[in-house]
Amino acid sequence: MSTHDLFSPIQLGPLALPNRVFMAPLTRCRASEGNVPNDLNAEYYAQRASAGLIISEATSVSSRGYGYPNTPGIHTEAQVAGWKKITSAVHAKGGHMYLQLWHVGRISHPAYQEDGTQPVAPSAVKPKGQVFTGTAMEEYVTPRALETGEIPGIIEEYIHGAKLAKEAGFDGVEIHNANGYLLDQFLRDGTNQRGDSYGGAVQNRARLTLEVTEAVCDVWGSDRVGIRFSPAGVFNDMHDSNPMETFGHVLNELSRFNLAYAHITQVTAQDIAHGAVAGVGPKELKPFWNGKIVSAGGFTLESGNRALAEGWADAIAFGVPFIANPDLPERFRGNAALNKPDDASFYGGTEQGYTDYPFLN
């Protein structure tokens, strides 16, 4: 048991954070042309600077890594300039912010590729479902399996993104290894059917995750790097034959890096309704990990405090509650009513449903 609650300060590497109410990474599809963050994004994040830590929306490390409209990148100087406005605004309010490094892999479409070619993935396994290409919903395509010789180039993209994130003024970075995107595709056997040193046994499937993590730590120092997993998630047509073995192995291997945290999502009722199985989450995987755990997935004030008290989480990342409540920590502290989120404005649009939610005071 722990005596910590959501309002207890926490030391995260060199960062002394005022509370454990973290802002989860939230794709909002409001970047400008060229996938450049803008002034409206800066206002949005600055409004939420009272979070113990803001984890940015997923941000592509490569021009090949996009799969949604108007999502930000971190591979051009214009994008760095846009992010600098955001980190400066957050820091001016006393906040702290990590950038989430992202590559969507197969969850893309030729419409998002500069040369109109297939998206890349560990294996040529087509995802179920459809993708919005900017004008219409279209079926996902069968991706092209990366050649073994191309994988060092993928790692270089993460290194480049990590370096630019430092240039943009972030306090650290989170590696997106969840939700069915590229690194998650390599890790899970439902999407990785390779026969080389990056496929087959879990030791091989975890190889790219470990290599990317080591490379990003070389840029930032391990105490400013987090990593996100969704071990029971089925989003983006994901599954694994033995998730406890897969995620237990990768967390055990990552423990040697002494990262700032592992961000492990718990299974929600919505996940279970779509085929996920309960019993593989932060609570069950904690024995494999020697560091701090941030968890996310439908938490409330009460369930977040309970997770901290039980000792299997060190901080809680809130998603939808932070969309609708820019002052979420203050509302939690005063046990105040929460604003109701406007689902229709979650993705894309203007300031409506983005920066116009009211504060308590």
Which domains occur in the chain, in start order?
10-345 (3.20.20.70)
Q: Is 158 a catalytic residue?
A: no
Rounded to a whole number, what is the distance in angstroms from the first to the last CA of the chain?
35
Q: Residue 145 and residue 122: Cα distance in Å, rounded? A: 5
Give the rounded distance of the alpha carbon of 224 from its chain centre: 15
Sequence letter at residue 350 = T
pLDDT grade for 282, boundaries at 50, 70 and 90: very high
**What is the structure's pLDDT at 267?**
85
CA angle 241, 245, 250 (to 5 degrees): 115
**Active-site position among 158, 181, 261, 354:** 181
pLDDT in tens, 128-145: 999 999 889 999 999 999
Judged on CB neighbours under 10 Å (0-12, 13-18, 19+), 16 is: exposed
How much is the average pLDDT of 25-52?
98
pLDDT at position 43: 98
Tens-digit pLDDT profile for residues 48-78: 999 999 999 999 999 999 999 999 999 999 9
Q: Which of 177-181, 268-272, 343-347 has the lowest mean pLDDT?
A: 268-272
Beta strands in the chain (DSSP E): 10-12, 15-17, 21-23, 54-60, 97-102, 120-121, 130-132, 137-139, 144-145, 172-176, 225-229, 261-265, 293-296, 315-318
**pTM summary value:** 0.97
Residue in 316, 310, 348, 312 with CA at minimum distance from that of residue 332: 316
The predicted structure's pLDDT at residue 114: 87
β-bridge mates for residue 17, sequence order: 10
> What are phi and psi for residue 50, nearest 5 degrees?
-80, -5
